[in-house]
Structure 1
Amino acid sequence: MAEIAIEPDLGPLLTRTGDERAVLESFLDFHRGVVLRKLRGLSDADAARRLVPSATTVAGLVKHLALIERNWFPCLFAPGPGDVHLSTEEEAVASFTLADEDTVERLATTYEQACARSREIAGRFDLDHVVPHPQLGDVSLRWVLVHMIEETARHAGHADILRELTDGATGTI
């Protein structure tokens, strides 16, 4: 049988026979990458442009996801001084609000750093490791990874639609 060439950014296809952790991390990293690819190549103005009735923008999605990464990994699994888990819908919605300094490059860098920190923290624990969540009770790292796949994939889909409305670009690459 001929070998099929797989785009390296399609990690889930490369880990299709991996263990549970490799598959979960691969899917999460894939969707993180999609989000970044939807942001990159846009001007600051296009990334911040509102194309739907809500305040959702590509830049706002990336800013929100950086906060969500910090909220689920450092704040729950390795909290430092001043780390407070955000727990209200208002706080989550406010995380989409852009400031003047929220450029495409700065948002991409912030998100990449948040994802790297999340990977580093998650790597310290077994999938069955449980931490208390202020609203849900105990949650395992496995559950958090699945939740983050869902959250990131959902927003990657939003970013895909917004990017298509901006310049016609579609797809995961």
Structure 2
Amino acid sequence: MPEPEHADPPLAPDELVSTGGERELLETFLDLYRTVVTRKLSGVDDEQARQRLVPSPTTLAGIAKHLAAVEREWFQTTLAQQPPLPSGDDWSVAADETVADLLADYERACEESRRTAARFGLDDRVPHRRMGQVSLRWIYVHMIEETARHAGHADILREQTDGAVGFDG
């Protein structure tokens, strides 16, 4: 009797948009990496999330806090032209901040970003103090790069923490 063929896994979100339009692709890839970051923090306790496993101050908790600040910087301050939030060390996690708090804040920041971006077209441009102007398209590409980069950091930190690897671990 022949071996049964192994079924392919279901298509991932980025695969489902393989023929999608530009905006759908940009939004899907950004959301994919936002989800990866969230998954990397899910299942670790507050102590594990604060653990410094590399020479830099990068921690799982710090990644979530940093990315929430970056979401707000690009989508609220830059795109929506809202006043900047008080700046500080967005990698530093306060003693009373829990993983649940950080994930909830990151998810709120991402949802605010989605609502803000929905009001703009990809070609819409807004002033930027350093570059003169930026388009929503550029913000999306930059945020994909930023979020994917830190998702990779989180993947390594999570593997060092408890051995979990991959998109879901």
TM-score normalised by L of structure 2: 0.91
In the alignment, structure 1 segments of 5+ residues that lack a partner are none
Question: Match of 2:69, SS?
Answer: helix
Partners of 1:172 and 1:153 in 2: CA distance: 11
Distance 1:47 1:98 in 2: 10
Rg comparison, structure with higher value: 2
Q: Distance in 2 between matches of 1:6 and 1:13?
A: 9
Amino acid at match of 2:143: M
Residues 35-81 of structure 1 show CA distances to partners (whole Å, capped at 9, x for unaligned) of 0000010000000100011100000000000000000001112244x
- The aligned counterpart of 2:3 is none
Which whole-Å CA distance do the structure 2 matches of 1:150 and 1:160 have between them?
Answer: 15
Indicate which of 4, 10, 19 corresponds to 1:6.
10
Q: Distance in 1 between matches of 2:130 and 2:63?
A: 24
- Which amino acid is 1:84 matched to? P
Q: Distance in 2 between matches of 1:4 and 1:119?
A: 31
* Number of aligned positions between the proteins: 162
AA matched with 1:6:
P
Is contact 1:6-1:13 (8 Å) kept? no
Residue identity in the other structure for 2:26 = L
List structure 1 runs of 4+ shifted beyond 3 angstroms. Answer: none
SS at match of 2:40: helix
Shift of 1:5: 4.2
Fraction of identical pairs, as percent: 52
The 8 Å contact of residues 64 and 96 in structure 1, kept in 2 or not, is answered as yes
**Aligned equivalent of 1:27, options 26, 29, 32:** 29
Equivalences for residues 51-130 of structure 1 within 5 A: 51-80=53-82, 83-84=83-84, 94-130=89-125
Name the counterpart of 1:151.
146
Partner SS state of residue 100, structure 1: coil
Question: How far apart are 1:101 and its partner, in Å?
Answer: 2.2
- The one-letter amino acid paired with 1:56 is T
> 1:16 maps to which residue?
18
Unaligned stretches of 5+ residues in structure 2:
1-6
Aligned to 1:140: 135
